[in-house]
Amino acid sequence: MVSQHGILYAVHLITNQFGNLVAKVCECLLRNGALTLQAIVRRTELSPAKVRNCLLVLIQHNCAQAFILEESVSGEDAGEPGKALTQYIALFVNILHRVRFSKFMDVVSKELGGSCGELFRGLLEHGRLTVKQIVDRAGANAKESTNTVQEDLGKLVMAHYVECCPAPEPLVPPPDADTKKRAKSSKVMVEPLTLEQRVMAVAMPSAMRRFSFVPNADQVADDQQNVNQPPSKDVGEKRKLHDLESDTALEEEVECNWRANFEELLRRLRHKTCVDTIKVRFDDAAATVLSAMLEASRAEEDKVKTANSVPLSLNTIYEEVVKNEKNHSMTFDHVRTCLEELSCPPTFVKTDDESYSIDFTKITEAAQSEEIESIVLKRFGETAYKIFRLLFRAGCLMETDKIADRIFAEKKETSKTLFKMWQDGYLLMELLVLCKHLNILPPAIKCYCICRNWLWAVQTGPSYGGSSYLLWKVNKRLLRETILDEMFHAALNLNLRLAHEIDQNKEVLNLPPDKREGPDKQKFDRLRNVRLLIHSSLMKLDDAIMLFHDF
């Protein structure tokens, strides 16, 4: 579920880029989930034409997805019982990606060069483009030849930075009943897929078609003429999804629109975060070895999507390390020593039969812990920082006096800090009531000696001649959700502050540069500094949001 501030932040981003009407439709989808066109019209009180245009804008820019549920549709949103209707769902993750376009551009430009980066910029700006539209846009901007543009597009597709768009209206089957039974009977908790995940899993084309591109403009033009020939079906008859199986691969290629592959771009940013985390915790040599492992396992990572990278032998890792001229001084024993350091607790690299694999979950959790501890230190002070580190690493309930003794602090100050952190949602509190005469208690009260309603326990516990103890704990999952919601809130406030500053200085911005003198120039310089500071803060804050939400 998307938090309240997460929805407000996403709606603000859509408002800034596409206007109030599109944002209103997007907010309706974010708050209510999947809806039909008629349901959106009722809830937004907009005309069907306006809602349809807003949905087209969201779909064009990969912020929404249309789909059809396989089971029969009934209820107030259905036109006829048993008739499947097209529904629309907002893609919250893709909306957040719109803030990261500059980061994505930097990744592509550094690896593939400026020409590929400029081509990639067009896909980020326009959402989805055909090959012809990509060629026309690149030719109009840089006067490049068609072959050069298609070669650059081929490089982007081969690197998996660009992919074929998902199906426009996929048929989504109901959740597998056998999967539900296995999840219930399994000892390991398995979270069921959300509707958004199910829709996108069905909508995405096969790997062969997803990253298949033939850079031949003349051939594409000839094939387009063949595709435009009259179809064998009668005019007006709808194409069924199973009819797509009879289409040729060439027709699929011509009909395909292309878009940025956010999944691969996020993977690259996650790799960078992992390397930076290891560099801070260990040294540059360990970060170099980890970076080499990431590069060596990149080709297989798409095939094996697990929490760990594919296993690599020590020889393979060493060969990848020395490929870079800067690392020629590293010896075989030095690489082995770095791997042994990374394999020690906390285990960032797992070993098995002389092979090594990266545990992304451990590295991400370590980076999250450092981020949370930094927030606690800045927000609550050094005493709270010590308390949080103790409880976070203990992972169990601890009594107030014991916490005070472990951190060498006064009980009064410890209690005050604990209550402050509890009120802000950083800690969980339990009250343990110990009664001297349990036999005189009613059975119902016996069962709740450890109760969550601590006010009731404090009032009734002493009446039975017992004593009570406050116990404290860090719930890591709830804490991450709390931190993430606060980050969304902070990002929204920064965006609102930036909009306010720009609105207050419209007159100065509209002045020509040669007429900005005296007070006007001072206002313009101040606004420029404020904008740079806010943009820098937003980029750093978005790095933290990715760490808690996307990695």
pLDDT at 434: 64
Q: How far is CA 543 from the centre of its chain?
A: 10
pLDDT at 348: 83
Do 256 and 136 lie in one domain? The reply is yes
Do 436 and 454 lie in one domain? The reply is yes
Position 483 in a domain:
yes
Do 466 and 483 lie in one domain? The reply is no
**Look-up of token digits 């704990």:** 473
For the chain, the domain total comes to: 5
Do 139 and 152 lie in one domain? The reply is yes
pTM for this structure?
0.81
pLDDT at 179: 53
**Cα(78)–Cα(66) distance, integer angstroms:** 16
pLDDT at 215: 64
**Cα(134)–Cα(212) distance, integer angstroms:** 16
Do 13 and 65 lie in one domain? The reply is yes
Position 456 in a domain:
yes
Do 11 and 78 lie in one domain? The reply is yes
**Within a 10 A sphere around the Cβ of 77, how many other Cβ atoms?**
16
pLDDT at 19: 92
Question: What single-letter DSSP state applies at residue 462?
Answer: G
Position 139 in a domain:
yes
- The answer to whether residues 292 and 321 touch, using CB atoms and an 8 Å cutoff, is yes
User: Residues in the chain, how many?
Assistant: 551
Greatest pairwise CA separation for the chain in angstroms: 92
pLDDT at 240: 43
Question: What single-letter DSSP state applies at residue 85?
Answer: -
**Cα(475)–Cα(453) distance, integer angstroms:** 18
Do 105 and 254 lie in one domain? The reply is yes
| Paired strand residues for 90 | 64
**Within a 10 A sphere around the Cβ of 482, how many other Cβ atoms?**
16
Position 178 in a domain:
no
Do 30 and 57 lie in one domain? The reply is yes
Position 193 in a domain:
no
Last residue of a domain, one of 474, 489, 513: 474
SS3 442: coil
pLDDT at 83: 59
Beta strands in 133-213 (DSSP E): 162-164, 171-172
pLDDT at 301: 62
Do 121 and 154 lie in one domain? The reply is yes
pLDDT at 84: 67
Torsion of CA 361, 365, 368, 370, to 10 degrees: -140
Position 241 in a domain:
no
Last residue of a domain, one of 474, 489, 509: 474
Question: What single-letter DSSP state applies at residue 127?
Answer: S
**Cα(479)–Cα(173) distance, integer angstroms:** 34
Position 514 in a domain:
yes
**Positions of the chain with pLDDT lower than 50, given as ranges:** 72-81, 177-178, 181-183, 185-188, 217-254, 304, 438, 441, 444-465
Count of CA atoms in the C-beta half-sphere (13 A) of 378: 6
Do 146 and 218 lie in one domain? The reply is yes
| Paired strand residues for 358 | 349
Do 47 and 21 lie in one domain? The reply is yes
Q: Percentage of residues in the chain with pLDDT exceeding 70?
A: 78
Last residue of a domain, one of 60, 90, 120: 90
Range of the domain at 282: 265-364
Q: How far is CA 9 from the centre of its chain?
A: 14
Do 307 and 347 lie in one domain? The reply is yes
Cα 443 to Cα 440, 452, 538, 543: the distances in Å are 9, 17, 55, 52
Position 242 in a domain:
no
**Cα(64)–Cα(203) distance, integer angstroms:** 12
In CATH, what number is assigned to the domain containing residue 144? 1.10.10.10
